[in-house]
């Protein structure tokens, strides 16, 4: 019954009929699908970008931590090497002192037994080891 439908329904039906005849509805539907597709692609792009950004940020933090640990380890290694070098110098000095004491005892025993002055090579050894020419 044409008289019983509302004006709104009549207008809608007329537009649908005109759209069908002109092919405009198909075009609008396609345009709507393209808009929806672009929106989906942009949302996916935002999600992927956020994911990659987060991974890059956590990787950068991980690398910073690794560099910090390596720096601390390198510093500790340098300190250990310096301590080892000091220890070796101390051991060389102690060996030198023991050697001088031993040679002094030998010279003293030689002097007591023979009553003569010890050979003069000890003076050269002392001079050479003390760093004087």
Contacts of 110 (CB under 8 A, 6+ apart): 116, 118
- Can you give the pTM of this predicted structure? 0.36
- Residue corresponding to tokens 């910073």: 64
Orientation angle between helical segments 24-114 and 121-130, nearest 10 degrees: 160
Dmax of the chain from CA atoms?
Answer: 153
pLDDT at 75: 83
* DSSP designation for 133: -
- Residue corresponding to tokens 């092919």: 23
Residue ranges per domain, the chain? 7-130
Query: For residues 63 and 70, what is the distance between their CA atoms, to the nearest angstrom?
Result: 10
Give CA separation, 84 vs 61, 74, 87, 92, 96, in Å: 34, 15, 5, 12, 18
pLDDT at 125: 53
pLDDT in tens, the chain (133 residues): 555 678 888 888 888 887 777 765 555 556 667 788 888 999 999 999 988 888 888 888 888 888 888 888 888 888 888 899 999 999 999 999 999 999 988 888 888 888 777 666 555 555 555 555 4
């Amino acid at each position: 019954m044409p008289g019983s439908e509302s004006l709104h329904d009549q207008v809608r039906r007329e537009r649908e009929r005109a759209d069908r005849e002109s092919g405009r509805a198909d075009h609008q539907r396609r345009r709507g699908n393209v808009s929806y597709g672009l929106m989906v692609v942009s949302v996916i792009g935002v999600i992927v970008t956020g994911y990659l950004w987060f991974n890059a940020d956590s990787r950068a933090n991980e690398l910073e931590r690794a560099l910090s640990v390596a720096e601390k380890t390198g510093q500790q290694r340098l300190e250990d090497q310096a301590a080892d070098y000091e220890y070796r110098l101390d051991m060389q000095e102690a060996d030198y002192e023991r050697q001088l004491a031993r040679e002094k005892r030998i010279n003293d025993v030689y002097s007591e037994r023979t009553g003569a002055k010890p050979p003069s090579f000890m003076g050269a050894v002392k001079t050479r080891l003390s760093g004087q020419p």
